[in-house]
Amino acid sequence: MTLSPRQQRIIEKLDDTNGVLSSVEITSLFNVSVQTIRKDLNELSKLGYVRRVHGGIALMPTSENLPFDSRQYLNGDAKKKIARALVNEIPDRSSIFLGIGTTVEHVAHELVRHKGLQVFTNNLMVAAILSNMPHIQVKMTGGNLRHSHRDLIGAETLDSIRQYYFDYGILGCGGLDQGIGLLDFDPDEASLTRTLVDSCRCSILVVDQSKWGRKAMARVKTFREIDKIYTDYLTPEQSDVLIANQVQVSLCI
């Protein structure tokens, strides 16, 4: 299932508050019945976006990322626009590493019309998307399977990446901090992304606005170490930070 616009708005409202909303507050935002809102909250809870608390809902703890099945429905329109804009600037016959994240999966969907690509990945969803494209060469890393995230991580994955130097490294992240840079939820995720940035001619971060301020704990890279960012929206302060760190910004509206 995909999230409805109302369900998306509920999650956005949670981010705008202290992470807790009462059912009364939510009902007052929409011209729908209490029963409809209750159904929305139950579905969001089942998918892992929120947890039910007495009288309302709260954000899930931020010490770990949502499972893939939940993340792939969040901000889907923005992710598609980001992927489409990025792929338009990727030339045929490039070597590309597609890393962790659901936005990266959207990039794979948009790459299917390219010719002569060499795609490397640890992302099982990316491999599945490109598996029926004989004009695109696909190579997967080794590593340990994370069932809930549908990817491979670990020392073997890092060794696989270090064997190559890619034209483009396409990466996501768990969170963005204006002072620190890129963050992730798991040290293994952070290690993989750091290795990828060091193993490509051009590192490209693909993230939507929701990643700013997310309290992931593992440091990845500073903004200055990233070449480009494709995103859907930036506040003036966020834009200033990226420009000061010499990151090339592409807004995908």
Tell me: the pLDDT tens digits for 39-48?
A: 888 888 877 7
- Indicate which CATH number applies to the domain containing 14: 1.10.10.10
Query: Domain check: are 149 and 221 in the same one?
Result: yes
- pLDDT, position 62: 52
The pLDDT tens digits for 133-163 are: 999 999 999 999 998 788 999 999 999 999 9
C-alpha distance from residue 131 to each of 30, 106, 109, 124, 144 (Å): 43, 15, 11, 10, 20
74 and 173 together in one domain:
yes
pLDDT grade for 59, boundaries at 50, 70 and 90: confident
- In this structure, the answer to whether residues 53 and 76 fall within a common structural domain is no
pLDDT for the residue numbered 63: 45
Once rounded to an integer, what is the mean pLDDT over residues 220-249? Answer: 96
pTM for the full predicted model: 0.75
Position 65 in a domain:
no
Predicted pLDDT at 209: 85
pLDDT (0 to 100) of residue 17: 67
Domain hosting 159: range is: 70-251
- Are 121 and 154 within one domain? yes
> Cα–Cα distance between 55 and 210 in angstroms, integer?
25
pLDDT digits (tens, 9 = 90+) for 115-126: 999 999 999 999
127 and 41 both lie in a single domain: no
* Residue 93 and residue 116 in contact, taking contact as beta carbons nearer than 8 Å: yes
Looking at residue 4, its pLDDT comes to: 82
**The pairing of beta strand 200-206 with beta strand 228-231:** parallel
Number of domains, the chain: 2
Same domain, 157 and 186: yes
Q: Which of 166, 153, 241, 163 has the alpha carbon at shortest distance from 197?
A: 166
The mean predicted confidence, pLDDT, of the chain is 88
